[in-house]
Amino acid sequence: MSEQSVMDEATYLQQYDPKQFDSPLVTVDAALFTYHDGVLKVLLVERASHPELGKWGLPGGFIDVHRVADLTQAINGVIEDKTGITAPYLEQLASYGNNQRDKRGWSVTVSYTALMAYQACEVRIATVADAQWVDVEQLPEMTLAFDHMTIIEAGRERLKQKALYSIVPAYALAEEFTFPELQHLHELLIGKPLQKRSFRRRIEQANLLEDTGKFRKDAGRPAILYRLAADAEQYRFVRNLED
């Protein structure tokens, strides 16, 4: 004790053995959402190894301290591995840590919420046999690995809040999208219909979208195609939509 207190830092670091104390396992996990065919989907992966082998869970994994320099690299690696692209929206969600969630022992996961366009990774997902988009409405019938259901719920709750005061959900759409599409996605997240007048007004006044000059034609009047303006991700409305 008194010997340690006179030791200089260089000596201390040289003698330091990170394995002298038991340390939690550390993973990163991504709740990656997209919007397609009118429904919100989350990417799930079938576990190929113990524990919870065969169950579906979030893309994620241990931090390989020799291959990644920080948490962001770790989570981006996981997402790119499964989808082939970097998620255009990525935000740290929360960390979950206790001695129960993983049978191997005390473990901590740093979880992230991410959004990407369905089209951007459609081909890749189709070729990766163990990864699949799942309609969030089907989740209640599933048993996911670890506490991944809790993480997905937290991610959805966070996205709901974002839908109330930002345009962040737009990152789950294709690069070019229509107002009705965006509104429907927000309605899904918030869980109730929105006034289209209010929805348009606030987004237009904040200049969050650029008109592409193109239209999407379906049944009815064609809808103007927009893309996100630069810095739209940062914008926060002063007034929230009704919850």
CA proximity to 117, closest of 41, 212, 211, 184: 41
Please check whether residue 136 is in contact with residue 41, taking contact to mean a CB–CB distance below 8 angstroms. Answer: yes
- Identity of the residue, 210 or 233, whose beta carbon is nearer to its own copies in the bound complex: 233
Q: Is the sign of the CA dihedral 163, 169, 173, 177 positive or negative?
A: positive
179 binds, among its own copies, DNA, none (CB under 5 to 8 A by kind): DNA
Binding flag, residue 96, its own copies (CB under 8 A): yes
Question: Which residues have CB under 8 Å from 34's CB, separation 6+?
Answer: 40, 41, 43, 115, 116, 117, 118, 133, 172
Q: Provide, rounded to whole angstroms, the least separation between the CB of residue 139 and its own copies.
A: 23
The Cα–Cα gap between 207 and 189 comes to 22
Of the residues 48, 123, 219, 230, which one makes contact with DNA according to CB under 7 A: 219
The Cα–Cα gap between 71 and 73 comes to 5
Of the residues 11, 100, 138, 198, which one makes contact with DNA according to CB under 7 A: 198
Of the residues 38, 51, 193, 222, which one makes contact with its own copies according to CB under 8 A: 51
- Identity of the residue, 67 or 217, whose beta carbon is nearer to DNA in the bound complex: 217
The Cα–Cα gap between 179 and 48 comes to 40
The residues that touch its own copies, with contacts defined as CB under 8 A, are: 4-5, 7, 9, 12-13, 16, 18-19, 21-26, 48-53, 62-66, 69-71, 74, 92, 94-100, 103-106, 108, 110, 236, 238-240, 242-243
The residues that touch DNA, with contacts defined as CB under 7 A, are: 178-180, 194-202, 205, 215, 217-224, 237-239, 241-242
